[in-house]
């Protein structure tokens, strides 16, 4: 089952939403990466149905078919998730944020109180001003350049991401070819899978179809204050990171674990950034309270 839904926000914006899996399953919001879209890699609907998961994803403002929200902060995602939950008549739910979706998942946990019962951050980022953390250490040059421009040169950031967007729309594989030299060996193994590669192509195409604005706004939001404090996160948080991640280094998850009230970090050897796609079935099983060992190595598959 896959349903496409359009949700209107209180300020008149449009959010493009995709719902898949079991209609009566436990609701889980999956917040996509940067750049990304609602159709990013995840288990097939039949697998979600068997797990008892109702998976809800949406295009963040400026991506795909969702209206841009200029000047948005990370915390603003919480009100968008709340609007979707109310449209779908969902009271309590879990949030899973992958990569750039990680800070937004924490925002939901901070702002929405006991409506969020579990929070997961996969290969996420720490706040830019995290004390005691060298934010850029171990990060791939493309991300160092992108976030550095977000700090110092908005015109340069816009030009960089416009060019990458144009390249990705002309040839979706150009994004992965550009990133490949900066990847660890485990990540190259993941993206060499034909199905994963095709899903990433589709995700990038959908995310950037109207331009790079969502990508630009994500980069700016990550490098300024997120609009909430980690002490406001009360739900249990599970953090997962590949030890060989060169895009958001595992030190970010270790730092988050040290700052959150109830958090547990798993740093997996011989895994990188894109390993978050492979681990998703096991994470979803944890969210709904099922056993995890039988799905520990199950890959995300085509819809």
Tell me: the pLDDT tens digits for 191-241?
A: 999 999 999 999 999 999 999 999 999 999 999 999 999 999 999 999 999
Residue whose tokens read 């490098």: 223
Confidence class for position 2, pLDDT limits 50, 70, 90 = confident
pTM of the model: 0.94
Specify the pLDDT at position 107. Answer: 98
**Any idea which fold 2-295 has?**
Rossmann fold (3.40.50)
Q: Domain map of the chain by residue range?
A: 2-295
Q: Tell me, what's the pLDDT at 49?
A: 95
Which has the minimum average pLDDT: 21-30, 117-126, 291-300?
Answer: 291-300
Span 288-298, average pLDDT: 48
- Which has the closest alpha carbon to 189: 277, 60, 70? 277
Mean of pLDDT values over 51-76:
97
Whether the bond between 210 and the residue before it is cis, its omega within 30 degrees of 0, is no
pLDDT of 166 strictly over 90: yes
Mean pLDDT of the chain: 94
CA separation for the pair 252, 281 (Å, rounded) = 23
Taking 60 as the threshold, does the pLDDT of residue 295 lie above it? no
CB 57 within 8 A of CB 29: yes
At which residue do the structure tokens 């950031």 appear? 157
């Amino acid at each position: 089952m896959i349903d496409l839904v359009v949700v209107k926000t209180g300020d008149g914006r449009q959010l493009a939403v995709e719902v898949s899996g079991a209609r009566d399953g436990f609701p889980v919001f999956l917040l996509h990466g940067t750049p990304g879209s609602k159709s990013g890699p995840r288990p097939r609907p039949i697998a979600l149905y068997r797990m008892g998961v109702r998976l809800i994803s949406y295009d963040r403002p400026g991506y795909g078919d969702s209206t841009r929200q200029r000047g948005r902060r990370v915390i603003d995602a919480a009100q968008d998730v709340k609007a979707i939950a109310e449209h779908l008549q969902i009271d309590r739910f879990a949030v899973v944020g992958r990569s750039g979706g990680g800070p937004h998942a924490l925002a939901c946990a901070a702002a929405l109180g006991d409506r969020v019962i579990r929070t997961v951050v996969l290969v996420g980022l720490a706040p830019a001003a995290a004390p005691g953390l060298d934010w850029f250490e171990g990060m791939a040059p493309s991300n160092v350049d992108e976030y550095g421009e977000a700090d110092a040169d908005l015109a340069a950031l816009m030009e960089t991401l416009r060019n990458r967007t144009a390249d990705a729309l002309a040839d979706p594989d150009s994004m992965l070819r550009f990133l490949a030299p900066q990847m660890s060996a485990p990540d190259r193994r993941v993206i060499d899978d034909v199905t994963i590669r095709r899903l990433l192509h589709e995700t990038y195409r959908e995310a950037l179809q109207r331009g790079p604005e969502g990508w630009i706004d994500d980069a700016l939001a990550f490098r300024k204050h997120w609009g909430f404090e980690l002490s406001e996160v009360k739900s249990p948080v599970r953090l997962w990171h590949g030890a060989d991640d060169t895009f958001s280094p595992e030190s970010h998850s270790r730092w988050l674990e040290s700052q959150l009230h109830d958090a547990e970090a798993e740093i997996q050897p011989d895994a990188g950034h894109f390993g978050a796609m492979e681990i998703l079935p096991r994470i979803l099983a944890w969210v709904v309270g099922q056993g995890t060992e039988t799905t520990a190595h199950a890959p995300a598959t085509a819809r």
